[in-house]
Amino acid sequence: MNPDFPTYAPSDEHEMLRASVRELCEARVAPFAAVVDEESRFPQEALDALVGAGMHAVHVPEAYGGAGADALAAVIVIEEVARVCASSSLIPAVNKLGTVPLLLAGSEGLKRRFLGPVARGEAMFSYALSEAEAGSDAAAMRTRAVRDGDHWVLDGAKMWITNAGVSRFYTVMAVTDPGVGSRGISAFVVDREDAGVSFGPAERKLGIKGSPTRQVILDGVRIPADRMIGAEGSGFKTALATLDHTRITIAAQALGIAQGALDHAVGYVKERRQFGQPIADFQGVRFMLADMAMRLEGARQLTYHAAVKSERVMRGERVADLTFVSSACKTLASDVTVDAVQLLGGYGYTRDFPVERMMRDAKITQIYEGTNQIQRMVMARQLLK
């Protein structure tokens, strides 16, 4: 293994990063998490704190003005932010999701033009793949891009786009050759300021209410041809390759939510008394805690393992099982949080305790960037190759 990046275990530098992010989040993100959820508003306080500390997009390479942190460091940042506020963790997570297509397939000119503002905290970068009739079946998209001289003209509507309206830049997948299926899909960079770009109303959601989810509407959006990411027709391949990397960031988000829920549950069962003793003394409660912690730690180790494989691929190595491990860690990590509510009993079902919010937030990690049912299909396909 290349000695220039971490082995499977986090290094001392990674643990120092974790401590730094946790301290920042406890002080400047956690105090606003409940009100951000209650008011369904963007967590501006978190964005300001993360940008001020350089934690909003640590994955951007140094060549483009970023910190150049490895994939494991990015996972740790997202995990620690999600531990106190899942909505806020989508700031670094979606910045990575939107920019990975450029890192994988973009021209040097595109990288220099669009990664710098993200690295400096001047802009956020979202990812626009799904449509109303093209969710799990993303290749069925209808958004079109038609060549017009030195430009492309985009028409269509992208659905369920995280941080839409707040982000300045968008990686947009569109059909450039409608006759050849997924091989006719190309990827583009769209700017919020481009004429013809608008946004639908914010979705009313179960969780992650502080992260706006909206349609991105493209009405005759005319962009220069050099804003295509990679070769014409390579967009769907780039989209799938991107998700191999960014499913790991969703696993990190799920880990953070679950860790926050477990931390609250442990504190609660030590204080809550029934039948004359703390409920932590009851064997049934201890078994639930042990099972939750066991699943959480297993998911964490698999996620870190996947992050290191992701880093190897980003550095040009061939890693045959990245698709499998990224699907596996996302699926495993996203199924942990629910038991925390059960441990708090009736109190856990109320908004007086944060585990209610955490359970609602955790649900989306079983759905976006590929449902857990789709992930199982992906894993099985990898096994049966």
Residues 236-384: name the CATH superfamily.
Butyryl-CoA Dehydrogenase, subunit A, domain 3 (1.20.140.10)
User: What are the tens digits of pLDDT across the range 8-22?
Assistant: 789 999 999 999 999
For range 286-295, the mean pLDDT: 94
Superfamily of domain 12-124: Acyl-CoA dehydrogenase/oxidase, N-terminal domain (1.10.540.10)
Neighbour-count burial for 223-247, b at 16+ CB within 10 Å, e otherwise: beeebbbbebbbbbbbbbbbbbbbb
Q: Any residues with CB less than 8 A from the CB of 247 and at least 6 apart, and which?
A: 326, 327, 329, 330, 369, 370, 375
b/e 91-100 (16+ beta carbons within 10 angstroms → b): bbbbbbbbbb
Q: Which helix (H) or strand (E) is 340 found in, with range?
A: helix 338-348
Residue 238 has pLDDT above 80, yes or no: yes
Contacts of 262 (CB under 8 A, 6+ apart): 289, 292, 293, 296, 340
Q: CA geometry: angle at 323 spanning 317 and 329, to 5°?
A: 115
Q: What's residue 7's pLDDT?
A: 56
pTM: predicted TM-score of the whole model, two decimal places: 0.94
Looking at residue 334, its pLDDT comes to 87
**Quick check: 230 pLDDT over 80?**
yes
Are residues 283 and 271 in contact, defined by beta-carbon separation less than 8 angstroms? no
DSSP string, 71-116: HHHHHHHHHHHHHH-HHHHHHHHHHHHHHHHHHHH--HHHHHHHHH
CA 351 to chain centre: 25
**Partner residues linked to 319 by β-bridges:** none
- Dihedral sign, Cα of residue 81, residue 86, residue 91, residue 93: positive
Residue 1: pLDDT band by 50, 70, 90 thresholds? very low
- C-alpha–C-alpha distance, residues 74 and 58, integer Å: 6
**In this model, does residue 6 exceed pLDDT 60?**
no
Mean pLDDT of the chain: 95
368: helix, coil or strand?
coil
Average the pLDDT over 348-369 and give the result. 93
Instruction: Indicate the residue type of 279.
Output: I
Q: Which two tokens stand for residue 174?
A: 């569109």
User: Is residue 3 predicted with pLDDT exceeding 50?
Assistant: no
pLDDT attached to residue 296:
95
Q: Which of 250, 266, 252 is nearest to 339 (CA)?
A: 266
Q: Is the pLDDT of residue 271 over 80?
A: yes
| Residues labelled as active-site residues | 369
Amino acid at 340: A
Residue count of the chain: 385
Q: Do domains 12-124 and 236-384 have the same CATH topology?
A: no
Q: Choose among 343, 172, 180, 178: nearest CA to 266.
A: 343
What pLDDT is attached to residue 4? 54
CATH topology classification for 126-233? Butyryl-CoA Dehydrogenase, subunit A; domain 2 (2.40.110)
Residues with Cβ < 8 Å from 131, sequence gap 6 or more?
140, 141, 142, 143, 156, 157, 158, 159
CA-atom Rg of the chain in angstroms: 21
Strand pairing class (125-128; 169-175): parallel
Helix, strand and coil percent figures for the chain, each rounded to 5: 55, 15, 30
Domain boundary assignment for the chain: 12-124, 126-233, 236-384
Q: What is the pLDDT of residues 56-88, one digit of tens each?
A: 999 999 999 999 999 999 999 999 999 999 999
DSSP sequence for 148-211: ETTEEEEEEEEEEEETTTT-SEEEEEEES-TTSGGGGEEEEEEETTSTTEEE-PPP--SS-TTS
Q: What percent of the chain has pLDDT over 90?
A: 89
Indicate whether 269 pLDDT > 60. yes
